[in-house]
Homo-oligomer: A and B are copies of this chain.
Amino acid sequence: MKVAIQGELGSFSHEAAGKMLPRAGVVSCARSAEVFDRVEKGYVQAAVIPIENSLAGSVAEHFDLLLTRDVFIHREFPLRIRHNLIAPPGVKLADVRRVFSHPIALDQCRNFFRIRSKIQAMPFYDTAGSVRHVMTETIPDAAAIAPAQAARQYGGRVLLTGLEDDQQNYTRFLLISKSHKVGRGSNKTSIGFALKNLPGALFKALSVFALRDIDLSKIESRPLRGRPWEYVFFVDILHGNDEAARNALRHLAEIAEFVKVLGVYPAAHRVLT
């Protein structure tokens, strides 16, 4: 089985794919649109994509792609974003003078650099790529900040873990595929729907859930591309494919310009806090 991710091998997406599908082969794609292309064309059986991060917010591009592409969400997984100091075997912590990583990862590890004033932060294209860089160049005083997956991928050693300043750093990943078959234990449904921007339109739309005591775990509005004054809403409801949910979605279709069920899947135990 093959699973596509956006970004390099050894990235957080790779780490999430490993947790969700431990035995699958991982295919790295440069762009998110390529990930969705490969799933739709059947070149891979599934993809694992980040959808929201507790500090950075939603990945808007992935919401847009879920709405427009013929894919379906089957699982979710909240991954703790843990930054590690990774060096080639033989390089000790005391030797390290330069640490490579993506600017965002470097920025999330400011305390590390504040305490160790001899160590210089070196911006690099990619977290996982920075591990490959220090491994292939074998620079005697260099290390990288990256997911633990990158150490496994490129044969680096984890010298320190938990370098991130804020430990409430989670990314919610989704497993998507072409199949629309709903799996066992599915108790959560992600939908997207569009409304004309009329007063009370959203209120009416949400009434279809409230009237049936269906709880929401997420709501987000986005302007609909190329159609000013129309909005698309992304909502997660805490119901699977049961009668109440089916009735609510039929009712919603009466009110909305369109409704798309993005997936029906088991809710992860861990909440994004």
Q: Do A199 and B214 touch across chains, with their CB atoms under 8 A apart?
A: yes
The one of B210, B225, B273 in contact with A227, judged by C-beta atoms closer than 8 angstroms, is B273
Checking B31, B57, B125, B168 against A123 with a beta-carbon cut-off of 8 angstroms, the contacting residue is B125
* From B207, B209, B272, contact of A223 by CB (8 A): B272
Contact A273:B223 (CB < 8 A) given known A61-B56, A203-B206, A206-B203: yes
How long is the Cα–Cα vector from A14 to B53 in the complex, in angstroms? 26
Give the residues in chain B near A63, CB-CB below 8 Å: 57
CB-defined contacts of A202 to chain B, threshold 8 Å: 206, 210, 216, 219
**Is residue A90 contacting chain B, with contact meaning CB distance below 8 A?**
no
Chain B residues positioned under 8 Å from A31 (CB to CB):
110
Interface residues of A, Cβ cutoff 8 Å to B: 31, 53-61, 63, 102-103, 106, 110, 123-126, 168, 197-200, 202-204, 206-207, 209-210, 213-229, 233, 271-273
Can you offer 26 A-B residue contacts whose CB atoms are under 8 A?
A31-B110, A53-B60, A54-B223, A55-B60, A57-B59, A57-B60, A57-B63, A58-B58, A58-B60, A102-B103, A103-B126, A123-B124, A197-B217, A199-B215, A200-B213, A202-B206, A202-B216, A202-B219, A203-B206, A216-B221, A219-B219, A219-B220, A219-B233, A220-B221, A223-B272, A227-B273
